[in-house]
Amino acid sequence: MKLTNTITVFPPPYSHSNTIITPEPIVLDSLKVMYCDYETTKQYFARIDGLPGSIELINGDEYDKLTPINRHIGEERLKQILGDDPQKYLQGLFPHTMEEDPNGPGSVLSKMIKSIGIVMSEGCSCRQHAIEMNKKGNDWCEQNIDTIVGWLRNEATRRKLPFIDAIGKLLVKRAITKSKRLLANQPVPENDEELDNIEN
């Protein structure tokens, strides 16, 4: 499918063996699309070569109305979904990573927790919670400290680690303060304990 203008999408950076990998941008003047028809679930999807995920084009009652669905119908629907800013839509297909926002509150909290010897494991929800914190920002984190402390408590329980809510809350507050200062290009104390004396 030919695009009206050439676009560039940027796969987010990610960590591999303690090294941050920044993938090359992907420049597109056309999309190589594979259409997938799932009659049993009444869904019609598009998958774009070189990009993650699937795009649901048609489902449910609409699927029944348009049957038999063909490539032409799928391409028209894909153009509608991509809209006037296909770069923005296609960029949104990439999963968020902590590495794309290293100074966000979730990333900062993760580093603080790692510095006391607790690392993320493949099965934990820590990474997704950190990404959510980064995405929602420091203001949301300040308003939802108890939620974040609950996430930490649940993960500690799952790992059979001791947990004290007051210490969890202190860590979250420090992470928010540090993140705010980093994002504002303000000096950050080397010792995280000194963050307790900084007014937000």
In this structure, the answer to whether residues 103 and 185 fall within a common structural domain is: yes
Q: Are residues 68 and 118 in the same domain?
A: no
What residue numbers bound the domain in which 167 lies? Answer: 98-197
- % pLDDT > 90, the chain: 64
Do 47 and 83 lie in one domain? The reply is yes
Boundary-marking domain end, from 56, 71, 91? 91
Count: domains in the chain: 2
Mean pLDDT over each residue of the chain, to the nearest integer: 90
Q: Could you tell me the two tokens for 84?
A: 């006037």
> Which residues, 6+ apart, have CB-to-CB distance to 44 below 8 Å?
35, 36, 37, 38, 56, 57, 58, 59, 63, 69, 74, 77
Q: Which of 61, 91, 121 corresponds to the end of one domain?
A: 91
Are 106 and 192 part of one and the same domain?
Answer: yes
**What average pLDDT does range 70-99 have in this prediction?**
92
Distance of alpha carbon 90 from alpha carbon 46, whole angstroms: 12
Does this model's pTM top 0.85? My answer is no
Residue 200's pLDDT is 62
Final residue of a structural domain among 56, 91, 126: 91
Residue length of the chain? 200
61 — pLDDT class (breaks 50, 70, 90) = confident
**Per-residue model confidence (pLDDT) at position 62:** 87
| Cβ–Cβ < 8 Å for 155, 124 | yes
Are 75 and 130 members of one domain? no
- 42: helix, coil or strand? coil
| Statement to judge: residues 130 and 185 lie in one domain | yes
Q: Is 81 in the same domain as 139?
A: no
